[in-house]
Amino acid sequence: MQKNSILLETLSVEQLQQLIGTSVKNGIQELQKQLQSKDNSEELLSRDETCQFLKVDSSTLWAWTKKGKVKAYGIGSRRYYKRSELLECLTLLKK
């Protein structure tokens, strides 16, 4: 604690403002980079991950895919689901 107070005592008001401003600016830039990387990349989930995410059995996921309720993307025999599209498929239930 005393170390920080000594450091602050030796700083001028302008230096302290610059230090705080730089720290806040760097934090905001890092947060923006993280948010942009999440927005630009569509996270793909495997069948098992999708079943865990939706808390359903694989047979239910297969039926929903066959009926067109959820979209599947494939490479060979593998199937993937986009997390954002799964969230869009959810509907609000009326009470």
Residue 1, pLDDT score: 47
- Residue pair 78/46 in contact (Cβ under 8 Å)? The answer is yes
Number of domains in the chain: 2
pTM above 0.75, yes or no: no
With H, G, I as helix, E, B as strand and everything else as coil, classify residue 37: helix
**Domain assignment present for 94:** no
Residue 12 CB-density burial (10 A; 0-12 exposed, 13-18 middle, 19+ buried): exposed
Give pLDDT tens digits for 63-78: 999 999 999 999 999 9
Q: Is residue 12 domain-shared with residue 49, that is, in the same domain?
A: no
pLDDT tens per residue across span 24-80? 888 888 887 776 666 544 789 999 999 999 999 999 999 999 999 999 999 999 999
Does 16 reside within a domain? Answer: yes
- Give, as one character, the DSSP assignment of residue 41: S
The reported pLDDT for the residue numbered 90 is 85
- Domain of 11, in residue numbers: 2-40
Same domain, 27 and 56: no
Does 83 lie in the same domain as 50? yes
Q: Is the residue at 82 inside a domain?
A: yes
As a whole number of angstroms, the distance between CA 24 and CA 30 comes to 10
Does 10 lie in the same domain as 33? Answer: yes
